[in-house]
Homo-oligomer: A and B are copies of this chain.
Amino acid sequence: MSELPKNRKVTRADVARYSGVSTAVVSYVLNNGPKPVAPLTRERVLEAVRVLGYRPNAAARALSTGSADMIGMIVVDSRNPFFAQLCHALDRATVRRDRSLLIANSDREHVAAADQIHDLAARQIGGLIIADVLTAVEQAIIESLDIPVVLINQYTGASKTPAIGVDFRAGAKSAVEHLIEHGYRDIAFVGSALAIDRRERGWSDALSEAGLPLGPRLHAPFSYAGGYEAGLALAESERRPRAVFAASDQIAVGLLAALHRAGLRVPDDIAVVSFDGTMESAYTWPPLTTVAQPIAAMADEAIRQLVTGVLTPGLTTFPTELVVRESCGCAAGVSGVGAGLVEVDSTSHLDLSL
């Protein structure tokens, strides 16, 4: 049997012909049913799949190796639940537009990020998304590329490069205003020391406008451990605040663990509101009231710009939404676990045999 010409797509009929079976039998093998197939026949079909390089998705676009159908992404730390969900949303948005996403970690080492920008660009990708704060050098590098670049999770739109982010200052302010509405007067901040991160500013805006003094301010890394250490410090402090605004859900999870450890009740002794609206914020105890970022909408916008080539220079800002659960002091009935999930994960298939 002669080989197929390289530029023709291998079909199910080719697999059937090569293996000497009907196309129906090929389907049974590929779909594991509905009818059984004898082991040796099955092996012959799979051998044909291997030899011919058959791809079973008939609706799939023709493979255009080295074309612009892949989008690259560079992300600081995909273990962080916020970034993990952002990557996932970008992946979904990319697939919806018939592209696929390739993710590389930069891990906050800026020299490595510069390497990765070059490496990814050399992979003949159709566009690049970067979820990291760029140095001037990296900024210069991406401006020298001949592919479109969109920055995401950004604080500022300092350069011509399209950037997408939320209004961190307004979001943080809404969280602290909610705590003030609860009647709390002494409200702490736990979050980044970076001046361009406007969440601390949103916290101080809300307190100043309400005529309240600034509560304790703790600069902690965006990690569980950072939140945990801050929580222990607050719990042991002579000036223990009545409420805390935590700049991320991950910090809040660590904070809650430390407050529990110190024997404090949340929200009765100390109330907590956080930022991000990741899935896990609905499953802490108590469930976190949090400022949700519109992760799916931002991901869609980033991919839309890359795929259409209609780029919006500077910063495009998305509004946040306060998801009210119980850590702030609101009643359980109002919302509860699962309320306001930006993206609810599958709950099907629970199969009980009690």
Answer yes or no: A84 CB below 8 A from chain B CBs.
yes
- A223 near B55 with CB under 8 A, answer no
Which residues of B are found within 8 Å of A78, using beta-carbon distances? 78, 84, 87-88, 103
Q: Are B346 and A225 in contact (CB under 8 A)?
A: yes
Q: How large is the interface on A (under 10, 10 to 19, 20 to 34, 35 or more residues)?
A: 35 or more
The smallest beta-carbon distance between A95 and chain B, in angstroms, is 7
Q: Answer whether residue A101 sits at the interface, using C-beta atoms and an 8 A cutoff.
A: yes
Residues on B with beta carbons closer than 8 Å to the beta carbon of A261 = 336-337
A2 on interface, CB distance cutoff 8 Å = no
- The interface stretch among A163-171, A201-209, A275-283, A314-322 is A275-283
Chain B residues whose C-beta falls within 8 Å of the C-beta of A53 in the assembled complex = 118, 141, 144
Interface centre among A32, A122, A350, by most B CB within 10 Å?
A350
Contacts of A257 in B (CB 8 A): 282-285, 287, 337
Binds B, one of A58-66, A177-185, A304-312: A58-66
Asked if A46 and B140 sit within 8 Å, CB to CB, the answer is yes
Inter-chain contact A349/B219, CB cutoff 8 Å = yes
Residue of B nearest to A254 (CB): B283
B-side contacts of A331, CB under 8 Å: none
List which A196-231 residues lie within 8 A (CB) of chain B: 216-221, 223-230
Min Cβ gap A211→B in Å is: 21
Residue ID in chain B nearest A253 by CB atoms: B283
| Bound Cα distance A46, B134 (Å) | 13
Given known pairs A50-B141, A84-B78, A137-B49, the reply for A91 and B116 (CB within 8 Å) is: no
Q: A56-B114, A57-B112, A257-B285 are in contact. Are A351 and B218 (CB under 8 A)?
A: yes
A144, B51: Cβ atoms under 8 Å? yes
B88 touches A233 (CB 8 A): no
A100 CB within 8 Å of chain B: yes
A-B contact pairs, 18 of them (CB 8 A): A32-B136, A46-B139, A47-B140, A49-B137, A55-B114, A56-B111, A63-B119, A78-B84, A78-B87, A79-B85, A84-B84, A88-B105, A95-B112, A102-B104, A193-B351, A217-B353, A220-B350, A224-B345
